[in-house]
Amino acid sequence: MKLIAAPDSFKGSLDARSLCAAIREGARRANPRAEVVEMPLADGGEGTVENLVYASRGRLVRVTVTGPLGRPVEAAYGILGDGQTAVIEMAQASGLPLVPEAERNPLVTTSRGTGELILHALDAGYRRFIIGLGGSATNDAGAGLLRALGLGLFDAAGRPLADGGGALRELHRVDDSQLDPRLAEACFDVACDVSNPLCGPQGASAVFGPQKGATPEMVRLLDEGLRRFGEETRKVRGIDVLEAPGAGAAGGMGAALLGYLGARMRSGIEMVLEAAGWESQLSGADLIVTGEGRLDGQTLSGKVIAGVCRSAAVRKIPVVALCGSMELSGADMERMGLAAAFPIVKGPCTLEEAFRSTAAWAADTSEQIVRLFSLSRPF
């Protein structure tokens, strides 16, 4: 029997690699001869770098960069097993978990550290990039990233703008003459499943700003700043990022990547599967066990499980999911191509107990899945 373990993380309790190990343990209890291929997945957000490095047998590069509050932080980017592709996850250098809750203020947080990761990879000779945008603490339209790469942003008096989304309201002139020339030699694929525009009711500030600590008044100020950035970008680059789908991703980082780095927006999970060599692992597979913490409406909209199901359907490989809680109906699962889903929680418990027990419960549930599957296809 060949089983592919391909879960996302259970946020807050267990990362995807540990879930893979739990699935392997349970599967081999039921069938000691089972071949278990471990492919931890993500959709471009937190965990993308480590999972892709692991799946492709690549390596991590650790760098000290500027954190979202301007203080140094330790971050990492990945080099895939092909030796040519750098994977950069915005959450590593500019992520919300790096900002204590009491200090969350998107008027001042900066994406500069993410730009410093790109700069480090450029210095190391890499020209192919995968960028994951999930989990950002910023709402600065990627201005910090671009300034790390040489872009000049100035107010009406010719003074450089301060860091943070709040300063963008004072933007008067953009100077791209000092933008790192090596960017013209590089290609950027962006893992992004968000289609929000830069500004307005569905824009970055209104939809995502409150998650990062923005009050209603901050949202108004931030939205004005993003609009100024979009208008000046159109003047300098001839590219309209105000209405471009995905420009509002990660506090407007999508606009920076589209307008100045010539980036291509792609489905996060599809790009992760491609980079991980997913198709080559499907040959001869009998069963895929995937999973995520909660199966709900978002699962249907292009997250990890939906991407795995689409790919598996072509080869008619059954897909079963583990989860902490489930809100999907049988019709939902059938539409997605998911054969079955099993909540791993064994009974009433506290959240703390559930977090402590996730690995053990995932292994136990995987064992039962393989036992049940083997009834119809004995190995």
pLDDT value of position 303: 76
pLDDT value of position 268: 84
| Cβ-Cβ contacts under 8 Å for 165 (sequence gap 6 or more) | 106, 107, 108, 109, 138, 139, 140, 141, 143, 205, 222, 225, 226, 251, 252
128-132 and 187-191 beta bridge pairing: parallel
- Copy the structure tokens of residue 250: 């990660």
Q: Which residue has 């965990």 as its token pair?
A: 47
As its CATH architecture, domain 48-268 has Alpha-Beta Complex (3.90)
Q: What is the mean pLDDT of each run of 10 residues along the chain (379 residues)?
A: 94 90 97 94 84 90 98 97 95 94 96 98 98 93 98 97 97 97 96 90 95 96 98 96 94 97 91 87 95 82 84 94 89 92 91 91 97 80
pLDDT value of position 221: 98
pLDDT value of position 65: 98
Sign (positive/negative) of CA torsion 296, 300, 301, 303? positive
DSSP state of 38: E
Superfamily of the domain at 2-41+277-376: Glycerate kinase; domain 1 (3.40.50.10350)
Q: pTM value?
A: 0.87
- Copy the structure tokens of residue 337: 């191509």
pLDDT value of position 378: 62
- Cα 265 from Cα 283, distance rounded (Å): 29
Nearest to 92 by CA among 153, 126, 48: 48
Domain ranges of the chain: 2-41+277-376, 48-268
